[in-house]
């Protein structure tokens, strides 16, 4: 029941009266949560809200088909819920992330908004639509919110993250092919090592991303089981037989992703292990991106007094005091995102291990961090491609100079002259500043033709090196 008072209206529930903005679609329970949780000012991700709309629509379909909701009411609820899923009522989802741990307040917010929209659709003669009796029929926050989380995270992975990672992978492969002719110096422990081709270094990065694609796909599969149908604690109390199968089939049709009913509803509601697993995959992807961006940044250092092998697009002035300085800002953005995703994962792990008995009361935090990790990784992967890697160039002269001047070239002589003799040559090069080639020619260590064959940098990048037939 509601009565108006200026710009607000009075809503009543079992706890009494509460003032709600007159234009709000939500009701008393949501308004109490607004007042109870003014914590961060940050709302739950809209992806979760839209997924919640899909869940409510699927529940209405199942309830109608099973005869537990009359057709006009069920169709009005379904229509309203699909509007929520389409983002047409985002402004009416107003609750803070840090709220009741089951997400009950957000489920209630959805129930109240959808009920009011459904009533408006039915008109004055259509009858009342109750948030709990009708919109929440055959459901509980405890199975609806985990279902919405899995739905939202899988959609985000497939629609945003996987395309971004595949784009990054393709870009690295393309750049590797373009620079296959360039031999450069390898480095281990940040010290000079034997040569490799630029294509091999970039190919290693591409493989990291390719494996990340597989990890994202595995994360999606971990989230394919849905808790819907377990109601309060996993027993399925108050839902009709066949409800989860019908509702989940509708969700699969609506999203284009294959979902299935949880193999055990008690596990699906008491634990958030699938979310922890998915977050672990995202953390690993973040670690890979950190490594790649750090390598790019290091190899582009200089440009004159660092390694300087790579040249990055000049995007913006890099200093307020040093004219002409340009910084590797996109690489820095990537590494900051990676650090944040690792932080999200740590919070999700704590949340996951904090479930008690038949409920994990950290769902809003898990949802926020998991979806934010997907969003950040997708966005920064696209940015890495567009603003850095597509414009990446190699300083061929610099790369060749580092190779020729390296003491590590002597490694290729070991099979011919032995380790100790090669070590003496390296020592002499270090003391005199001469190259390995110069010292070996002066001392006539090997016939010139054999020496040139063994010291060929390109040959050293192949398995077996210059000894390969």
Average pLDDT of every residue of the chain: 94
Question: Which CATH number do you get for residue 13?
Answer: 1.10.275.10
Residue 247 lies inside a defined structural domain of this protein: no
Residue 192 lies inside a defined structural domain of this protein: yes
More confident: 303 or 68: 68
Percentage of residues in the chain having pLDDT higher than 70:
98
What the block records as the tokens of 123 is: 């008109």
Residue ending a domain, among 395, 423, 441, is: 395
Q: At what angle do helices 46-65 and 71-85 cross, to 10 degrees?
A: 160
Residue position matching structure tokens 């922890």: 276
Burial 41-72 (b: 16+ CB within 10 A, else e): eebbbebbbbbbbbbbbbbbbbbbbbebbeee
Q: What is the mean predicted confidence (pLDDT) over 385-398?
A: 95
Question: Going by C-beta distance under 8 Å and a sequence separation of 6 or more, which residues neighbour residue 346?
Answer: none
Question: Which CATH number do you get for residue 461?
Answer: 1.10.40.30
What the block records as the tokens of 92 is: 């009416």
Asked if 189 is an active-site residue, the reply is: yes
Going by their DSSP bridges, the two strands 393-394 and 8-13 should be labelled as unpaired
Residue 44 lies inside a defined structural domain of this protein: yes
Condensed to tens digits (0 to 9), the pLDDT of residues 99-137 reads 999 999 999 999 999 999 999 999 988 889 999 999 999
- Reduce the DSSP state of residue 195 to 3 states and report it: strand
Q: What is the mean predicted confidence (pLDDT) over 233-253?
A: 97
Is 0.95 surpassed by the pTM of this model? Answer: no
Which stretches of 317-405 are DSSP H helices? Answer: 329-353, 363-387, 396-405
Residue ending a domain, among 350, 373, 395, is: 395
Regarding whether 158 and 116 lie in a shared domain, the answer is no
Residue ending a domain, among 137, 170, 192, is: 137
pLDDT of 41 reads 92
Regarding whether 296 and 204 lie in a shared domain, the answer is yes
Of 189, 265, 279, 320, which one is the catalytic site residue? 189
Of 79, 319, 320, 381, which one is the catalytic site residue? 319
Residue position matching structure tokens 């820095």: 332
**Domain span including residue 418:** 406-467
Regarding whether 219 and 76 lie in a shared domain, the answer is no
The answer to whether residue 166 scores a pLDDT higher than 50 is: yes
More confident: 125 or 467: 125
Residue position matching structure tokens 């010139």: 448
The residue length of the chain stands at 469
The answer to whether residue 405 scores a pLDDT higher than 70 is: yes
Residue position matching structure tokens 């690295």: 172
What the block records as the tokens of 188 is: 């281990």
> How many CA atoms, within 13 angstroms, populate the side-chain half-sphere of residue 436?
27
Show contacts of 187-195: CB within 8 Å, 24+ apart.
192/402, 192/406, 192/407, 192/408, 193/408, 194/408, 194/409, 194/411, 194/412, 194/460, 195/403, 195/406, 195/408, 195/409, 195/457, 195/458, 195/460, 195/461
CB atoms within 10 A of CB 283: 22
> How sure is the predictor about 469, in pLDDT bands with cuts at 50, 70 and 90?
very low
Regarding whether 99 and 25 lie in a shared domain, the answer is yes
Measured CA to CA, the distance from residue 383 to residue 197 in angstroms comes to 26
């Amino acid at each position: 029941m509601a009565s108006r008072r200026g710009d607000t209206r009075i809503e009543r529930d079992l706890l009494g009266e509460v003032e709600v903005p007159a234009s709000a679609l939500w009701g008393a329970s949501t308004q109490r949560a607004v007042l109870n949780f003014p914590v961060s000012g940050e709302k739950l991700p809209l992806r979760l809200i839209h997924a919640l709309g899909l869940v409510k629509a699927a529940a209405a379909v199942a309830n109608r088909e099973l005869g537990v909701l009359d057709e006009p009411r069920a169709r009005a609820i379904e229509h309203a819920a699909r509007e929520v899923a389409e983002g047409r009522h985002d402004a009416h989802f107003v609750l803070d992330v840090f709220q009741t741990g089951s997400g009950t307040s957000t489920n209630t917010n959805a129930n109240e908004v959808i009920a009011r929209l459904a009533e408006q659709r039915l008109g004055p003669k259509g009858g009342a639509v109750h948030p709990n009796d009708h919109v929440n029929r055959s459901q509980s926050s405890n199975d609806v919110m985990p279902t919405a989380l899995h739905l939202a995270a899988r959609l985000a992975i497939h629609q945003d993250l996987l395309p971004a990672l595949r784009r990054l992978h393709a870009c690295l492969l393309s750049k590797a092919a373009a620079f296959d002719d360039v031999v450069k110096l390898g480095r281990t422990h940040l010290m000079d090592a034997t040569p490799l081709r630029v294509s091999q270094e970039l190919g290693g990065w591409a493989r990291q991303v390719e494996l990340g694609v597989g990890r994202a796909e595995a994360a999606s599969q971990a989230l394919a089981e849905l808790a819907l149908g377990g109601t309060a604690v996993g027993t399925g109390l108050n839902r009709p037989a066949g409800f989860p199968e019908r509702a989940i089939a509708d969700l699969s049709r609506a999203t284009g992703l294959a979902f299935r009913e949880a193999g055990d509803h008690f596990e699906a509601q008491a634990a958030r292990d699938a979310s922890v697993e998915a977050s672990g995959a995202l953390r690993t992807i973040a670690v890979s991106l950190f490594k790649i961006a750090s390598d790019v940044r290091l190899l582009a250092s200089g440009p004159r007094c660092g390694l300087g092998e790579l040249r990055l697009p000049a995007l913006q002035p890099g200093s307020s005091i040093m004219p002409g300085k340009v910084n590797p800002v996109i690489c820095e953005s990537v590494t900051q995102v990676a650090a944040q995703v690792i932080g999200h994962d740590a919070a999700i792990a704590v949340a996951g291990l904090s479930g008690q008995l038949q409920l994990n009361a950290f769902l809003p935090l898990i949802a926020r961090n998991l979806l934010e990790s997907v969003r950040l990784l997708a966005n920064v992967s696209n940015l890495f491609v567009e603003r850095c890697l597509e414009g990446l160039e190699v300083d061929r002269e610099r790369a060749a100079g580092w190779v020729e001047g390296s003491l590590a070239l002597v490694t290729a002589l070991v099979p011919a002259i032995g380790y100790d003799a090669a070590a003496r040559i390296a020592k002499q090069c270090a003391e005199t500043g001469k190259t390995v080639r110069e010292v070996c020619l002066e001392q006539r260590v090997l016939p010139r033709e054999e020496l040139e064959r063994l010291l060929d940098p390109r040959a050293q990048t192949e398995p077996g090196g210059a000894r390969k037939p």
